[in-house]
Structure 1
Amino acid sequence: MANVRWLVDPTHSEVQFKVKHLMITTVTGYFKTFNVEVETEKEDDFTSASSIIFTANVDSIDTNNEQRDTHLKSADFFDAENHGEIRFVGNRYEKTGDDSAKLHGDLTIRGTTKPVTVNVEFGGIVVDPYGQTKAGFTVEGKINRKEFGLTWSAVTEAGSVVVSDEIKLHAEIQLVKQG
């Protein structure tokens, strides 16, 4: 049997990150342009995935503040001019419960690749009103931005850190089974 290919449904998916600002509030950002492609050996068994690839376009970053977005795209952070894509290649989908799993893989940001494990909640598989088979996932994880070369830092006059090192990742992903 041939592998089953799944592609992201971008209108029913979102990718966001959260970072502490001044250590008192959290700023949320989104990647508006991203892609997810998965190949499974068995139709509805994602533990059989032979390929899981996520990419995000750095230029599509949106934190609801144009000046901040421009700074994030600059060489101080993502360096979009030289590193326009964030890439995660999953190498193991490990079921940990009925609807929970850990996805292990390699995350590349700014040309630096590190192993990362994220938590996955499997929402299930359904056929939508148009006859398309869809699978839903909630993905959550944390990374240290400095491990990926995002080392810009500033401190307030009172000694508070402006941007935390820990970045929380959250994604709602809906995949569509390809014919």
Structure 2
Amino acid sequence: MSTWKLDPNHSEVKFKVKHLVVSTISGNFNTFSATVDSNKEDFTDAKVTFEAIVDSIDTKNGQRDGHLKSADFFDAANHPAITFVSKSFKKKSGNNYELNGDLTVRGTTKEVALAAEYNGTVKGFGGSFDVAAFEITGKINRKEFGLNWSALTETGGIVVGDDVKIEVLAEFVKA
């Protein structure tokens, strides 16, 4: 079994959500970790575990970040981490995979399917270690995970959309 550890210096965990229906707000988590365990070079037997620390959320707006950490949204005080544990990593075609697993947000666990593109494996600087990279994307409904806060503008527009787009750019180093 080979174990691969996420390199946080060469990885990103990002999200996007609609604001006032017409614009998109993006953000990221600055503190996260992940491990991939696999026997196969194409990762089709991969077991993936992931954790993002809620308190590291960053939307480039301190007031909004504070609101997202509050009980209105992620409730970081009671639910400090978002986790994902894979159930399967199936090859679809070429370098495209489907990553299925349990996502836990704010104490609620739901099975989700994410698209994963395997960008390949190369030797790192000096040739003494292996590096594998993936781009993982998907969409979830925030309300399915208990992030129910909502408000309407004076004209009836929705302040925060329900759908959240997820993008993870992940570089792993073979342990």
- CA RMSD in angstroms comes to 0.7
Residue 134 in 1 paired to residue 136 in 2? no
SS in 1 for 2:67: helix
Q: 1:167 aligns with which of 149, 161, 164?
A: 164
* Consecutive aligned runs of 4 or more in structure 1 exceeding 4 Å deviation: none
Using structure 1 for the length normalisation, give the TM-score.
0.96
Residue 99 in 1 paired to residue 89 in 2? no
Q: In structure 1, how many angstroms separate the alpha carbons of the residues matched to 2:4 and 2:29?
A: 20
Q: In structure 1, how many angstroms separate the alpha carbons of the residues matched to 2:51 and 2:45?
A: 21
Q: 1:80 aligns with which of 71, 76, 79?
A: 76
Deviation at 1:45, TM superposition (A): 2.5
Deviation at 1:52, TM superposition (A): 0.8
Deviation at 1:128, TM superposition (A): 1.5
Q: In structure 1, how many angstroms separate the alpha carbons of the residues matched to 2:20 and 2:129?
A: 45
Mapping of residues 10-159 of structure 1, within 5 Å: 10-42=8-40, 44-49=41-46, 51-130=47-126, 131-159=128-156
| Structure 2 letter corresponding to 1:176 | V
Q: In structure 1, how many angstroms separate the alpha carbons of the residues matched to 2:79 and 2:52?
A: 11
Equivalenced residues, count:
174
| Structure 2 letter corresponding to 1:9 | D
Q: Percent identity?
A: 52
Using structure 2 for the length normalisation, give the TM-score.
0.98
Q: In structure 1, how many angstroms separate the alpha carbons of the residues matched to 2:132 and 2:29?
A: 21
SS in 2 for 1:46: coil
Q: In structure 2, how many angstroms separate the alpha carbons of the residues matched to 1:38 and 1:124?
A: 14
Deviation at 1:63, TM superposition (A): 0.2
Q: Deviations over 1:53-83 (max 9, x none)?
A: 0100000000000000000000000000000
